A and B are shown apart, each in its own frame.
Chain A
Amino acid sequence: MPESKSTIVLVGGPQSGKTTFIGVLWSVVRTAAKDAKVRLNGPLPPKTFYMDAAEHAILAGEEVERTKKGTGERIKLDLLVGDEPFWLEHIDLAGETLETALEARRIPEDLAQELQRADCLLLFVHPDKVRRPMFIHAANRRMIASPVLVTATEGEAVAGEAVQATDGEADPVNVWKSAPTSVHLVDLVQTALRDRTRQGPLSVAVVISAWDLIEQLPPHPTPEPSEWVRRHLALLHQFLESGPDVVRWAAFGVSAQGGDYSDPKTVERLVGLPCAERAIVVTESGAVDGIAAPLAWFAKG
């Protein structure tokens, strides 16, 4: 069977769950039975310290150490999904490195090459870190619609002092920093598409981390992951939907750890379980699957 080398790149902002996902995935494929649907294809890869350390932390109910800015860990796994062999090769990059790069409109050459070769992006989003569009007229509209009285003083205090001069040009870096998360993510995907060297549409798996957190919040029942993207990352949703010949996508709600490790009760509940039994992935149809579900989706496409 001819070997097809697919490249999967994990991208996302700081603390969006990339390293934790890698740790759990590594634990799963490394201990997978021979008849498991996702498993290593061959012997252990060399230099697995990074993944081992992540797994080590997760197993003890500890937070995974964050990837340091300015560095990346190169990971290369030879996997089998069903009977289909493919490579999972990517650089686990600190979210701050990517963020800084996007602000400065320059990216490290290594990362640029990774993006060019990507067949699939795993686009990580943490719901706590999503900056939603906040326009003054929309905020004012909500104030007007609210049945509770809000004093003029409170309204001014909320929105800040009026800015008189608008002749001064806004600093592009500050503008970019304050732009909604969906704008950043669209920019990222567009960058990956722009200089792409691979054939066929780019697969984008939107991985919504800490899905267990979303399930605690209203509305109930919890929307499906793609619906969550539509509501909270509207621009990204439109972009991903607009070009099936260019981009194919799916959303996954992922709780890689199975819960919040800052809560001792959660740690106590989970710490006796192997990683495979902690992770929960909610797919588009609302079905519950394992940590490798995004990879399986990509492999099927």
Chain B
Amino acid sequence: MADASERAVGTCVQPECPVRRGETECALGLELIACENFLPSPDISDDSTTPNDEDDASVSASRRAPGAFDGSAAAAEPISAPLPEPVVEVEGGPALDFAAAEPEADPQPGFESRVRAPEGPRNLVEFSDQHVPMHSGLSLTVEEAQQLMANEEAVVVAFAGPAGAGKTTLLASLYENLVMAPLGNWKFAGSMSLLGFAMRAYWATTASGAAVPSTERTRRDPTRPWLHLRLRGHAGPRSMLLGDVSGEHFLAFASGGSLGPVEGHFRRADHVIHVLDTQLLSQIRDRQRALHAAELLIRRFAESDVLGSATRHTVLLTKVDSVQDDLLAMAQSKASTWVDSYLPGAGVVTTAARPEDGSESLGLIELVDVILQPRPKPADDPIQSPIGATARRLAGSRVELSRPAERDEAKDADA
């Protein structure tokens, strides 16, 4: 460890940063001078490092381009060179430089300006109690999501998996990564749920005071399930509505019960992400249980009438940084089997939203790519056209839309 006396001295300018403010060494062990949050104190002991006044004046003048937009043509002229120091000849002796002998000009702490400060009427705007509500920034209600979809096309994505599988952490991690940099080719292009994302990521920030990042447990309240996120890729902006619901809703459904209040989320979903927590595979007693539960839930979804025929599916393996390679390979093999059996055409993606070793997130770009890959237009794929478009086409044929069960009964009756 370097000698403390050799460390740079200064102030950290980053509020609430782990790097302490003041003249103490960096608690993260960084070289302060190399840290972008560090503002070094001026070195008052070494006059040669302090720019002198003439240098400043000449720099200031040289940096101003002629004809600059400063409102004055005259201001475009460079500052004239300083006047030469007065030289006084003294009889019988060399010329003395009185300027050098004069003490350096001190600030005038007792200076009182004789120029009166301006006075006059103000043009104040006193803000009244009339306030206009802003959009909350929280995750969206169903109504807010519908309103959004009336104005822009969005891929509705629902996540299915038990509590603790990493669904919310994944969503928080999207925000955490975008706040730092684009996600591969995807750039942040807007969100009506910025505060919603920030709340999900809060316990992973240093502001929370936590030493280990974590995620708040998703509550059962399904009234604000949708996180809005717009990204821009090579093909232009694409929006997503990402559903974040408690994993407890899936327990009963897997065993034949209903999805309850979240059923509507899945009925309108364009894409369902089936989540398997691979960390559970590391515990031998939980390994088979986890695999069994995941397969059961996937099959229940596939065989129910909750999802539309045009719904896309992806099997998502989370926390892959925490599982051994052979177990991960087994999980991937199982996932592929489930896809073949129940979700034809689906993909398998592996992620590690917040690797335990603090390394970069894994798999987020691939997941976003899968969700936002272009869907075939209804005209190109009449079988998968939305119900609305189908209804419009059939309207002129006087064909009544009915549920499959009613149509089967009608056929039997005819027979």
Candidates A71, A102, A265, A289; contact of B124 at CB < 8 Å? A71
Q: Which residues of B contact A158 (CB under 8 A)?
A: 18, 27-28
Q: Which residues of B contact A168 (CB under 8 A)?
A: 216
Cβ of B178 under 8 Å from chain A: yes
Question: For window 194-221 of chain B, which residues contact chain A by CB distance below 8 Å?
Answer: 194-195, 198-199, 201-217, 219
A153 to B: closest C-beta gap in Å? 10
Cβ of A4 under 8 Å from chain B: no
A22 to B: closest C-beta gap in Å? 12
Candidates A134, A137, A291, A295; contact of B354 at CB < 8 Å? A137
A108 to B: closest C-beta gap in Å? 4
B75 touches A183 (CB 8 A): no
B65 touches A287 (CB 8 A): yes
B360 to A: closest C-beta gap in Å? 8
Residue of B with least CB distance to A37: B69
B214 touches A194 (CB 8 A): no
Candidates B117, B138, B211; contact of A136 at CB < 8 Å? B211
Q: Chain A, 251-295, contact with B by CB distance < 8 Å: what is the 0/1 string?
A: 000000010000011011100011011011000000111111101
Size category of the binding interface on chain B: 35 or more
B123 touches A47 (CB 8 A): yes
Residue of A with least CB distance to B355: A137
Cβ of B113 under 8 Å from chain A: yes
Cβ of B345 under 8 Å from chain A: no
Q: Chain B, 58-85, contact with A by CB distance < 8 Å: what is the 0/1 string?
A: 0010011101111111110001000000
Candidates B36, B71, B122, B354; contact of A73 at CB < 8 Å? B122
Cβ of A201 under 8 Å from chain B: no
A215 to B: closest C-beta gap in Å? 10
Candidates A107, A133, A296; contact of B180 at CB < 8 Å? A133
In the complex with contacts A48-B120, A71-B126, A276-B70, A135-B34 CB distance below 8 A: no
Q: Chain B, 354-386, contact with A by CB distance < 8 Å: what is the 0/1 string?
A: 110111000000000000000000000000000
Q: Which residues of A contact B299 (CB under 8 A)?
A: none
In the complex with contacts A218-B33, A235-B178, A166-B125 CB distance below 8 A: no
Cβ of A1 under 8 Å from chain B: no
B178 touches A159 (CB 8 A): no
In the complex with contacts A28-B70, A47-B122, A170-B208, A102-B113 CB distance below 8 A: no
B5 to A: closest C-beta gap in Å? 16
Candidates B72, B105, B214; contact of A33 at CB < 8 Å? B72
Cβ of B134 under 8 Å from chain A: yes
In the complex with contacts A39-B71, A241-B187, A290-B70, A150-B203 CB distance below 8 A: no
Q: Which residues of B contact A133 (CB under 8 A)?
A: 176, 179-180, 205
With the chains together, A295 CA to B28 CA distance in Å?
Answer: 43
Candidates B57, B126, B188, B203; contact of A242 at CB < 8 Å? B188
A50 touches B123 (CB 8 A): yes
B118 touches A53 (CB 8 A): yes
With the chains together, A33 CA to B400 CA distance in Å?
Answer: 78
Q: Which residues of B contact A147 (CB under 8 A)?
A: 29
Cβ of A56 under 8 Å from chain B: yes
Cβ of B387 under 8 Å from chain A: no
B194 touches A172 (CB 8 A): no
A40 to B: closest C-beta gap in Å? 9
Q: Which segment of B9-17, B261-269, B300-308 sits at the interface?
A: B9-17
B211 touches A161 (CB 8 A): yes
Chain B contact residues: over half helix, strand or loop, or mixed?
loop
With the chains together, A53 CA to B105 CA distance in Å?
Answer: 28
With the chains together, A191 CA to B182 CA distance in Å?
Answer: 22
B113 to A: closest C-beta gap in Å? 6
With the chains together, A232 CA to B179 CA distance in Å?
Answer: 10
A49 touches B127 (CB 8 A): no
Q: Which residues of A contact B192 (CB under 8 A)?
A: 190
In the complex with contacts A91-B125, A105-B137, A135-B204 CB distance below 8 A: yes
B129 to A: closest C-beta gap in Å? 9
Candidates B71, B130, B202, B355; contact of A109 at CB < 8 Å? B130
Q: Which residues of A contact B16 (CB under 8 A)?
A: 131, 134, 178
B179 touches A182 (CB 8 A): yes
A111 touches B127 (CB 8 A): yes
With the chains together, A6 CA to B20 CA distance in Å?
Answer: 45
A242 touches B122 (CB 8 A): no
With the chains together, A110 CA to B131 CA distance in Å?
Answer: 8
Cβ of B392 under 8 Å from chain A: no
A70 to B: closest C-beta gap in Å? 6
Q: Which residues of A contact B122 (CB under 8 A)?
A: 47, 49-50, 73
A178 touches B194 (CB 8 A): no
B104 to A: closest C-beta gap in Å? 10
B113 touches A60 (CB 8 A): yes
In the complex with contacts A50-B123, A178-B205, A135-B176 CB distance below 8 A: yes
In the complex with contacts A72-B124, A170-B199, A187-B194, A36-B71 CB distance below 8 A: yes
A134 touches B207 (CB 8 A): yes
Residue of A with least CB distance to B187: A238
Candidates A46, A142, A243, A276; contact of B75 at CB < 8 Å? A276
Q: Which residues of B contact A107 (CB under 8 A)?
A: 131-132, 134
Cβ of B222 under 8 Å from chain A: no
Chosen A-B contacts, 11 in total, with CB atoms closer than 8 Å, are: A28-B70, A52-B118, A101-B134, A159-B211, A160-B209, A170-B216, A175-B195, A238-B187, A238-B189, A276-B71, A291-B70
Interface pairs A-B: 10 shortest CB-CB = A290-B70, A148-B29, A178-B207, A160-B209, A32-B71, A49-B120, A242-B189, A28-B71, A52-B118, A141-B358
